[in-house]
Amino acid sequence: MKYDALIPVIRKLAIEAGAEIMAIYNSDDFEVKVKSDDSPVTAADEAADALISAGLRAAFPDVMLVTEEQAASHKLSGDTFLIVDPLDGTKEFINRRGDFTVNIALIEAGVPTRGVVYAPDRNRMFFTLADGTSVEETGAFDPDTMGEIRPIHVADSDNDALLVVASKSHRDQATDDYINKYAVKDSKSAGSSLKFCLVATGEADLYPRVGRTMEWDTAAGHAVLLGAGGKVVRFDDHTPLTYGKEGYANPFFIAHAPGVVLKQA
């Protein structure tokens, strides 16, 4: 995979998918269906998936593609693949809370090496450059012309005053019990893969996830965090979270700045 060819394509597709999503989000009403795993899906998920899938298959026909909306038909046949969550944070979307994202990532040998996270209602976009470093773009988000970008990096964490971010829709007692092991200065809630990006920009030090996620939920945010100097590890043994697992299900995990001294579960 040539990274200098990949990055403009995934950035453009994320912005175009974001426009499709926002057109539906700003409409008077939209249908919400329930998938076989009881998770919700909307016309926005489906429209964004169709747009991104077509774009990636046209640009990179020889690279395997895994998307949330088509996951049942995917069979991994190698350790390099593109993985997409066209609308992460569907519950945020349905409840019109704004914290939803478009996510596209490249996995190589179990590691998310490049990715883009676009939050169209928050006007925030984060992605890795060809060299693997992460940036945040500001501006009009023109799909054909990159705006102003700034490098992002994780915080130099103070373990006596940590900033923690946790799930808005899935926060529970187990999450709070784990957070309470740390000296926390401030704690906030956010939806979707934005939590990874808040750690990547230094707006948070720690994001623990004690709950179900799938690889497409985390891959792009994980890539952005890695490119900003952060880490994502398994909750149980603090080894790196890897991709290409059977069924695409993740274990519990912790995303963090490297200066955070992790506590045992």
What angle do the packed helices 43-59 and 3-25 form, to 10 degrees?
160
Residue 85 is labelled as binding a ligand: yes
Amino acid found at 118: Y
User: First vs last Cα of the chain: how many Å apart?
Assistant: 37
Residue 206 is labelled as binding a ligand: no
Sequence-ordered list of residues with C-beta below 8 angstroms from that of 54, at least 6 positions apart, any chain: none
Q: Is 207 exposed, middle or buried (0-12, 13-18, 19+ CB in 10 A)?
A: buried
Residue 13 is labelled as binding a ligand: no
Residue 203 is labelled as binding a ligand: no
Which position has the token pair 């773009």? 137
Q: How far is the C-alpha of 208 from the C-alpha of 189, rounded, in Å?
A: 11
Residue 156 is labelled as binding a ligand: no
Q: How far is the C-alpha of 231 from the C-alpha of 111, rounded, in Å?
A: 11
Residue 2's φ and ψ, nearest 5 degrees, are -90, 110
For the chain, what's the residue count?
265
Please give the structure tokens belonging to residue 52: 């991104």
Helical residues (DSSP H) of the chain, grouped into ranges: 3-25, 43-59, 90-94, 173-179, 194-200, 215-227
Residue 68 is labelled as binding a ligand: yes
Sequence-ordered list of residues with C-beta below 8 angstroms from that of 143, at least 6 positions apart, any chain: 11, 12, 15, 16
Annotated binding site for substrate: 68, 87-90, 217
Annotated binding site for Mg(2+): 68, 85, 87-88, 217
Annotated binding site: 68, 85, 87-90, 217
